[in-house]
Each structure stands twice: as structure tokens, then as C-alpha cells.
Structure 1
Amino acid sequence: MTTAHATLVIGATGTTGRRVTARLAAKGRRVKAAGRTATALPGAEAVRFDWHEPATWAGALGGVDRVYLVPPTGSPDPAAVMLPFLRQARAAGVLRAVLLSSSAIPAGGPAAGRVHEQLPGLFEEWAVLRPSWFMQNFAGSAPHARTIREEGALFTASGDGRVGFVDAEDIAAVAVHALTTEQAPDTDLILTGPQALSYSDAAAIIAEVTGRPVVHRQLTFEELRDRWAAAIPLEFATMLAAMDRAIADGAEDRTSDTVELLTGRPPGTLRAFVEREVRAAAGH
């Protein structure tokens, strides 16, 4: 009897990767959970993988026929390492690839956009997930969560621009659908929550649910860039600030029905997300 092929989840301890891993394991799928430290996850085989160490690639790809791709964090040019890996993956027998990109980045655009552009030529079965901004940016150790806790504020250069904030649980549900459904999507999928909200709207919801004062402080592009540049490289800080400027110009003011179409249930609201985080923090 042959062993079922595995799904390789890259970035398996990350925001979407650990949720994808858990959902695949719950469906009884064989999962190889890949990361730089080969961290053990329930129901998965841990494998060491580093985008910047090609010697780790072959071991991760052994016995794999589909892969969930999370680009290297903070890289302005992920295609430089991802495309050689994807060519190796195809040669190793990978049939289907699902790439995590962003609603802000079209095919051929910056960052993962170049990988998106090449994916259909590399694999017969593919999908590109293009989620809007994660609700998880307001929780845990994310920068917005830190300023909410420490300063009672969200700092953006997005003005009154609106965003269809999306829950990583919904992104993971779509990813698992794209990885396991008999017919691959073979397209890119814009993923949003059910409402487009400004950061002022988001601050009001967070304040109401948590009972703590939270306000939206509007910065200029330059102020936000310099604020980010204190912690991350200037090139990346500039890119992040430019994304906020695009929000101000209306680039993210949209919602899609993709989550409901592919999972059979509507995407979660920001209010429901914050309520869940509050319950988790209280230990319920």
C-alpha cells in the first residue's frame, strides 16, 4: 500500500500556516509542517525549511504533491528565492501550489506579485490567496496591538480610507479548500471580511468590546514611515507606509463573497474577532 502524498505547509507556525496545518490535520490529511526551527505541531510531521538555505528544500519536498506557500518575511524581492524553489518543487512532483499574497499586490506587482505571475506556468493546479489586512494585526504581538495596549491608539497614514479586514481563520479555511478540493481554483482569490471599515471604525469597535479607550491617530506618510523605520529597514518601512497611503486613496475599500462561496459560511466580523480575543485573554 502506498503512503498518501503530503501537503507541505511553509511558515507552519505563522499566522495562517498554523491554522492551515491544524485544519488539514483535522481532515486527516498528511501534513509536513515546515519552518526554520522544525517546530512540532499536532498531527503534522515537522521538517526544517529555510527559504535562504536551498540545502533544506529537498528534504521538505520529499513525498509532497501540494504546497502552501508563505513568502519569506520582510523580503522586498521574495521571487529571487521562491522561483528557484518552485522549479525544484515541480521537478520533485508537486502538482498544486497555493500562494499567500495580498489584496494590495496584483500579478506582476512587487513582493509576491512576481511569484503570482509565474505560478500558472509552473503548476497545472494553483491558487493565489489575496487577503485584505488581517484582523490579527490588532492582537497578540502585532504592532497595532502593542500601540493599543501601550498608547490606547492606532497609528496609520490611511486617513478615512476603508479596509475589508479579514480573519486569518477565514484565510486558512479558503487555503485548505484550495489545497484539497478536487478541482483547483486556478485563479487568484480576493479575501475580505464582511464589511469595509476605516481605522477609526476599527478603533471604536475595539474600544467598545474591550471597554478600554482606543483612538485612531492619523499620521502623514512621512511620519508613519519614520515611525516604522525605527524598528525595520527603511525600504520595508517605506513600502508599508505606501500601503497605508493607498488605503487612504481607496485601494482597499471593497468586500468580496469569496470566503462564503468557497467555505459555505460568511466571513467573521471584526467585532466577533475582538470578542474572541477578549475571551481567550480571560482564559475562557
Structure 2
Amino acid sequence: MEQTEQTEQTEQTANPEQAQAWNGYEGHHWARNQDRWDAVNAGFTEPLLTAAALVGGDRVLDVGCGAGATTRQAARRVGEGHALGLDLSGPMLERARALARREGLGNVAFTQGDAQVHRFEPGTYDVAISRFGVMFFGDPVAAFTNIAGALRPGGRAAFVCAAEAEGSEWLQAVAGLRDILPIGGFGEPGGPGMFSLADPERTRGILAAAGYVRLGVRHVEAYGVWGRDADEAAAFLLGSGPGHHLLAQVGPADQERARRTLTDLLRPYERDGALRLRSTAWLVTAERPR
């Protein structure tokens, strides 16, 4: 029954390219490397959950939950409440469910679906959260409107999205491969993909058009662990979905050149047995009108 529901909701996606990516190489890579991606993004979790102001009994919707790290942490905070993680990626949701079972969490569930068109029961949730899961909508106004409808009147939303590429050290390292890989307009605010909400004024406009009030946008930064050393971090970055895609467009010689160059660019960040890189983001809060 559960698998039937997941398949049906995936077919209803408004973002077929994203559904294909997150159920293909990208999603499997994230699922296999869940611990490492959580080490990269963990520094943004506490600011996100603090901004969401979770209290016991809250019903939480985690949009683009991935392997469910933020969903599970939210579930622990709300006690007798409940947390639902929603994501396009079947592979990551399998991982999320397995981890929730291992941790004995009975107040958490995961559903496969596209938040832009998913049929939420109106007014179900007290708060919606997301850690880097809301940047990929084909129609962000429609998506945030749909999410607002899932919130009760006065319900809260808090999410973290990518800020300017210049502030994130891993993005600057990747940008250093422009002469080798076809990076193009990588990192431009407002473009499709992870930088779609990098312009805070555009984000305010989207949320206002979707009916939210009491908008807040705050710049935050955190350090993430990308590997034990530069060699491991470079291999991880180039093995991720975007890196894998870029490498596939050049020949073996340029692939090896890109690996060597990225390793050299990352070498200065090695310290105390780990490679840590600073990332920047916008922490956005909003409410559904009462």
C-alpha cells in the first residue's frame, strides 16, 4: 500500500527533471552518503529548528527532507507531536525510514511527493521547515502557496536556502574549475536550481505572492566537514550529482586534471584531521495569516 502511494505521488510531480535526478544518480548518491551530507549541512540545523520555534505537540512538515535528519530531530523536539518528511527521492526516503526505525521514533513518517502539487490536508501543520529543500521548484509561488495551505492559520514556516556563491568556500573551489569543466553561469542568483532563492528580495516577493506575512530573512553561515583531507573531499564533490554531470562532459584527461586542480584548491582547508569549508545561506521565516 505504501509503495503504491509513493509511485502515484511521484507521477504527479510538476518537476519531472528534478524527480528523475533525485530518483536517479543524484538521489542514490545522497542516500549512500547520507552521513557525509549531514556532516556538510549539520551546522544549519540548529539555527533552522530554533527559528521554527518548535514546541511539544507541534505537527511539523519537513519539505525536501532527503534522508530525514531534520525530520527526525524535529520529531524529537515536538514530543507528543508529529513530523512528516516529504521528498521526491525514493532512495533517500528508504534511508530516512530505516534510520527512524533504528532510532525508535514513533512520531515520524515519510511520504514521496512533490510539494508543489502534493495534496495536503488543509490546515494540518503548525510549522513547515526545510534545510536546502525548497530551491528546486519549477513554480516557486505555486509551491509555497500549496505549502501555506497545509499550514493552520497562523502557522509558521522556516527554511534555509543557498545564499551568494561567493560566500561558500566549496562553491568557490568548484568555480576554480571553469577553465576545465563547462560550468557556465554556475552560482548566479535567481537562476534555476540551488541558487533560485539566492536573491533575498526575490524570495520575499515569492513568499508575499504566495500569501505569507511577517517575512524575515537573515544571513547565516556554518562550517561543514567535507572529508578527512583534500583528496577525499575532491572525490566526494566530483562524485556528487553536479560534479558527476560536469565530468561526463569532458574526456579522461580533463577529468583527471579537474580532480588534481580541485584537490590543490582544497588543500589549504585541511586541519586537525578534517577538511572544513564555510557555507552561507539565508534563513527565512514567514507565517500564514491568521
Q: TM-score, normalised by structure 1?
A: 0.41
Query: Higher relative contact order at CA 8 Å, sep ≥6: structure 1 or structure 2?
Result: 2
Q: TM-score, normalised by structure 2?
A: 0.40
Please state which structure has a larger fraction of its residues in strand: 2
